Structure formats: C-alpha cells, structure tokens
Amino acid sequence: MRVKLLQGIGILWLAALLAACASSGDTRALGESGPPVPPFSQVKAAPDSFKGQTLVLGGQVLAARRMKDGTRIEVLQLPLNDSQQPTLDLMKSEGRFVAIQREFLDPATIPQGTFLTITGALTGSMTLPLDETDYTYPVIDINTFRTWIPSQDSNLSRIRPYPYYYSPFWHPYWGPYGRFPYYW
C-alpha cells in the first residue's frame, strides 16, 4: 500500500514537472520559432516590405533622445549570437536602425555605448541627417529589450576598465613578503 502511494506521488510529481517545462515560456518573442527572421541587410534595403513583422535586433546604442511620442534610440546594428547577445566586432555591422519606446524611458538609463537586444514590430522607415547626408533608418517599435553588462557575459567580458598590471615582485615562488615558504 505504501509503495503504491509513493509511486502515485512520484507520477504526480513527474507530471507536474513536465507540465512546468512545457509551459516555461514563449520563445517566439526571441525569434527561435515561427517564420525565419530576415537578415538585417534585407530589412534595411526594403523596410516597407517587412512592415508589421516581429524582429529581434541587437547592437550598440549611439544616441537616445526623448520625444513627444516616446524615446527614440539610434542603434548601430550588430549580429546576434545564439544567446541573442550582440557581438563586439563593430566591423560586422550592416547599418543603423531606430527603436522607439512608446512608454516613458529615461535616455540616461541607456547611455551611449550600451549593448542591447530589442524585440519589436517593424513600423517602416524614417530619414534623418547623418553627418552631411540623409540616412534612411528602419524603425522598430519596442516590445521588449534587454541591456547587456560587459561583466555579465563572457562574450562582452573582453571590455576591461583598466589594463592588466603585473608586479615585478610577484612570482610563483615569491609572495607579497618574500620567498616561499618563508614569507610568513
């Protein structure tokens, strides 16, 4: 009797665990399932043909500005890795895009140089001045976004706030007070 009770509890526990795993989240927002996400070069070339499509884009913040209808973020597009993190190689960028946050977002919370990943719907394009020319930016309305802190990820951990310093007195046989094991 006791064995059957334990087996029943085990089966219920396993069923609850499987149900929790099955409903752990919607990965379509990250672009992992559903229709394939077009490359940024295609989106930039013809943004009106992808209007209304949900995209996942990433990059580095170039500027953020508070407008009447929301916050406009200008982003240098960077390719995303398997974890949806932007790469650090700025030479792999295929252009720029503008992301619009319709709800209040203080531009100081996403300063220039911040790496981020944005999920949202493409709403078209806008032309803004860039140096001495006009540049056409694809525009995405932000559903969700995530900022990446360099120390949080090994891909971004190559950014160091200080150079390495090696003491001339530090050696495997030298401690901070003299020769090992006599420095105590």
Residue 14, pLDDT score:
54
CA-based nearest residue to 118, from 40, 45, 30, 37 = 30
Tell me if the pTM is above 0.85.
no
The list of the chain residues with pLDDT below 70 reads 1-35, 150-184
What does the CA dihedral 40, 44, 49, 51 come to, rounded to 10 degrees? 80
37-150: CATH homologous superfamily?
Nucleic acid-binding proteins (2.40.50.140)
Tokens read off for 121: 């719907």
pLDDT digits (tens, 9 = 90+) for 67-107: 998 999 999 999 998 889 998 888 999 999 999 999 889 99
| All structural domains of the chain with their residue ranges | 37-150
Residue 58, pLDDT score:
94
Residue 71, pLDDT score:
94
Residue 89, pLDDT score:
86
Measured between alpha carbons, how far is residue 127 from residues 103, 135, 138 in Å?
23, 5, 9
